[in-house]
Amino acid sequence: MSLSRRQLLRTGALSVAASALPSFLRADEEPDTSLTLPERAVTKGRIKQSVMGWCFKPMSPVQLAKVCRALGMPAIEGISADSYPDVMELGLKIAIVGSHGFANGPITTANHAACKEKLLGSIDLAAKVGSPNVITFTGMAEPGISPEQGAKNCVDLWKSVMGHAEKKGVRLCLEHLNSRDDSHPMKGHPGYFGDDIDLCADLIKRVDSPNMKLLFDIYHVQVMHGDVIRRLRELQDIIGHYHTAGNPGRGELDDTQEIHYPPIMRAILATGYEGYVAQEFIPTWDDKVAALRHAVALCDV
């Protein structure tokens, strides 16, 4: 790795991005010390797989990175930015960099200064660590803000940072989230403004930049809309990143869930997509590493 931890900290970008992360992405829990590395799961490698670190706590980012390396996965995401140097030293890429959270987004101009600061810092960090993407969200719908005004507010904020993203060669990826599931704070997001995939696509097109993309979360699309394969085909030109999980319950990609992933992965490949597909399910199996290995093998089409 060309950048040491000290060099990253000296730039200030790492500390800015770390402060933007919600608490569940920060390295503030005791790591799980009982770890057995799995056998390799990736044999084809046509799908470039990543993993969301928050799903596998209390496993530390470095432990999870070691599991990813053993499985043959090339990337990781959803971890504290101060862990980037350590996981990169293990040979993993950072698939997407965090920014502002999903609740306080640019739907209201009251959040614009904070969102802009965090997005600019995350764009700089992504450029330094070689990550292609920075995640962004609309935020929660606000009383008194019409859908038309909320959409304009979002587009205005993203346009204000897009020149910097283009200059740095980094893409913003707007994540569509479901607003239906209220059973768990990370299974659904009631009140989220960008809960319609077509609205998200329209917002991206209004920004009018090749560096503004869609984060197509297969789980959230299934909950809100279904018809996953047809939708990813229709939106292929603006998709910059994918997330997976089973449904219902955001569990493993196993036979207790209604989404059958192999044909979805083949459809993604058929669109010519060359980016990352990240495993973002919440493990229910006793052996979380075995759960991840199962998902990785299933998606290695």
Tokens found for residue 180: 């239906």
The SS3 of residue 174 is strand
pTM (global) more than 0.75: yes
Q: At what angle do helices 288-299 and 61-71 cross, to 10 degrees?
A: 40
- pLDDT tens for 144-172 read 999 999 999 999 999 999 999 999 999 99
Mean pLDDT, residues 248-263: 97
- The answer to whether 49 and 278 are in contact (CB under 8 A) is yes
Can you tell me the distance from the alpha carbon of 237 to that of 257, in angstroms, rounded to the nearest whole number?
A: 28
- pLDDT tens for 178-221 read 999 999 999 999 999 999 999 999 999 999 999 999 999 999 99
